[in-house]
Structure 1
Amino acid sequence: MNAMISMNFPQVQAFCAEHCVQMVQAGPDQICPECAKNAVNKNNREHQKHVDQMVRELHFGGAMIPARHKDSGFRNYKTVHDGQSNALSSCVDFAKTIIARQKRNLIMTGKTGTGKTHLSCATARTLLSKGIYVRYITSEDMANEIANAWKKPDDSESSAVYRFSEYDLLIVDEYGLHDRHENRLQLVHKVLYSRYDAGKATMIVSNMTAHELQKDLGDRLWSRFQHDGLVMVECNWADQRVGGGV
């Protein structure tokens, strides 16, 4: 940049006190090529910082993290016993695996109020901060969105399934809670099969036990879910919401 300035503008006798280089005449002003280069670099850095912030906001907005969990992170997940500590460390390790661009799936089971959604959203926020595309959605909402795709003139069931297959990580919360209609459950399974075929990571969060979830998914889908590595997190403790817990 300074070489270009020196070539395009005539040099003058004055020298820049800071950089000890000969200044050039640019219209009515005498400027230092090094100072000009630094100013351009600063502007470029500020522009890139602005672009990065916009991209980050788009990533977080597209993830559809519930407002209640917009600040849920690994650091503010409360651990008062070994089970919670193990669940936390498992999710942290899982996030590191995805950041390293390695394929894994994660299933988190347990009763309501055990902090499962907090941990899933903490995982999402960690990955989003690294520029990894994540989507959070309940099983019911995903099934409804796919089922209603035909009502839109520019959409279809296959297109909706494809959209859910594109995220680096898809978090399917409340699996088995409000999706018991057979046709709706099949739509959820279509997404899980599609993500397996695309080699994408999936996290399932459910109030079912691990055994119940395995039976509900079926042998073929359960086998595929384990193929690239499966992390099981079982939250087998009491509801922590009662009394102001996680």
Structure 2
Amino acid sequence: SGGPGTGKNHLAAAIGNHLLAGGHSVLVVTIPDLMLRVRECYDGGQSEASLLDDLCKVDLLVLDEVGIQRGSSGEKVILNQVIDRRLSSMRPVGVLTNLNHEGLLDSLGARVIDRLQMDGGMWVNFDWGSYRKNVSHLRIVK
């Protein structure tokens, strides 16, 4: 958890790249993109069950931008299903959010938070300012 620009995605990418180099599979998906994929299932493409299976097959799943979803009960059910299935099959799931612990609890619910903390799951607080302003001058302008 942490504000924008604090390095959450950077750390997740480093972990993911390390796993990929070792032959493992990694998927990073934003919650808005995940919910878009779920809605596409209703239009007759991939089934929702098949999508959930795909999310549960990868060695590491990182859910990004958790907390910016609409917060509907349907979204909570989907996130609960994904997290529950992954943890039941002993597959890790990372959650990236700008919310504090209480905000994430409100967004996902106590049940999901409790499951995320099972088997050594931990909350990491990125409680420093954005690093982007320090490196923005290093970008190449075309």
TM range (shorter): 0.7 to 0.9
Give 1:43-192 correspondences, 5 Å limit: 109-153=1-45, 155-177=46-68, 179-182=69-72, 183-192=74-83
Q: How far apart, in 1, do the equivalents of 2:89 and 2:38 lie?
A: 18
Asked if the contact 1:171–1:202 (Cα under 8 Å) also holds between the matched residues in 2, the reply is: yes
Give the alignment of 1:181-220 within 5 angstroms: 181-182=71-72, 183-220=74-111
Aligned length: 135
Q: CA deviation at 1:143?
A: 1.5
1:137 CA drift (Å)? 0.8
Change over 3 Å in CA distance of 1:176–1:200 after alignment to 2: same
Mean Cα displacement is larger for which, 190-199 or 112-121? 190-199
Larger Rg belongs to: 1
Given that residues 175 and 206 in structure 1 are in contact (C-alpha distance below 8 angstroms), is that contact kept between their aligned partners in structure 2? yes
Supply the distance in 1 between the matched residues of 2:85 and 2:39 (Cα, whole angstroms): 16
1:164-220 Cα shifts (integer Å, max 9, x gaps): 01111101111112x124033432232112212222100000000122213322222
Does the 8 A contact of 1:137 with 1:172 survive in 2? Answer: yes
Instruction: Name stretches of at least 5 consecutive residues in structure 1 with no aligned partner.
Output: 1-108
- Which residue type is aligned with residue 143 of structure 1? M
Structure 2 unaligned spans of 5+: 137-142
- Please, what is the CA RMSD of the aligned residues? 1.6
Identity %: 28
Q: Normalising to structure 1: TM-score of the pair?
A: 0.51
Conserved? CA contact 1:110–1:207, under 8 Å: yes
DSSP-derived class of the 1:172 partner: strand
SS at match of 1:141: helix
User: Structure 2 counterpart of 1:110, which letter?
Assistant: G
Which structure has more strand as a fraction of its residues?
1
- Equivalent in the alignment of 2:140: none
Q: Give the counterpart letter for 1:130 in structure 2.
A: G
Deviations 1:134-170 (A, max 9, x none): 11111111121122113244x2111111110111110
Shift of 1:126: 0.5
Q: Tell me, yes or no, if the aligned pair for 1:144 and 1:184 is still in contact at 8 Å.
A: no
Q: Are 1:110 and 1:236, in contact at CA under 8 Å, matched by a contact in 2?
A: yes
- What SS does structure 2 have at the residue aligned with 1:127? helix
Aligned to 2:122: 231
